[in-house]
Amino acid sequence: MANVLMTGFAPFGGEAVNPSWQAVSLLGARRDDVAAVELPCEFDASLPTLRRAVAEHRPSLVVCVGQAGGRLDVTPERVAVNLIDARIPDNAGAQPVDVPVVPDGPAAYFTTLPVKACVAAIRAAGVPVSVSHTAGTYVCNQVFYGLMHLLSTLPDVRGGFVHVPFSPEQVAASGKAAPSLGVDRIADALEVLVDTALRTREDLAVSAGAEH
């Protein structure tokens, strides 16, 4: 049985593909210890799908991945907030504004991934990477918060969230002037992250702070 669960999202916002799912499915095909599951980009359906996947695969590590178009690099997230404030509708047409992910839940959860160690390892592998301190307020943050809320009841399971840039395919199709990263390189970065997380319990004591 796979001991790592990884999720990516279906395309959204008019895109034909989502590199988060493309990279996760590629990594799932590479490794027997990784179960890859696609999440719908829908507020009502994303967390139930994630919970079913955790119950089915019973992983020791969960890494959810989403697209953050416009970002320069792969960005492991540090903190999820208990807020949904959708700038655009999801794939089901829902656009909730200023509602909690979990009513009466904590204001925020921190990842239990060793994000600084993961960033150092990914950088050493030659893939652009940095720590992110915000996962936004869309379905990605909802899933990140919902994951950590679930894992608060499963103390033997660690997890977190990673954002990835547009793929070159998306940029070429739209003509947008935006940074991109190949799906194979994203998959390489995610594989390094998984390996680092599996062997690392204590994160590096180095600065990854941001001024803004």
Q: Per residue in 59-115, pLDDT tens?
A: 999 999 999 999 999 999 999 999 999 999 999 999 999 999 999 999 999 999 999
Residue 204 placed within a domain:
no
CATH of the domain at 130: 3.40.630.20
Residue 206 placed within a domain:
no
Residue 174 placed within a domain:
yes
Q: Select which of 15, 42, 64, 163 is catalytic.
A: 163
Residue 37 placed within a domain:
yes
Strand blocks (E) in 17-57? 34-39
Q: What is the pLDDT of residue 174?
A: 85
User: What amino acid occupies position 44?
Assistant: D
Q: Which residues contact 42 (CB under 8 A, 6 or more apart)?
A: 90, 91, 92, 94, 139
Expressed as residue numbers, the domain containing 78 is 4-199
Is 133 known to be catalytic?
A: no
Low-confidence ranges of the chain (pLDDT < 70): 1-2, 211-212
- Our count of domains for the chain comes to 1
Residue 142 placed within a domain:
yes
Q: Select which of 41, 42, 64, 77 is catalytic.
A: 77
Residue 41 placed within a domain:
yes
Residue 207 placed within a domain:
no
Q: What is the pLDDT of residue 211?
A: 56
Residue 46 placed within a domain:
yes
- Residue 121 Cα distances to 118, 134, 153, angstroms: 5, 21, 29
Is 77 known to be catalytic?
A: yes
| CB-side neighbour CA atoms (13 Å) of 56 | 11
Is 163 known to be catalytic?
A: yes
Q: Select which of 140, 149, 202, 212 is catalytic.
A: 140
Integer Cα distance of 174 and 17 in angstroms:
12
Q: Which pTM was predicted?
A: 0.96
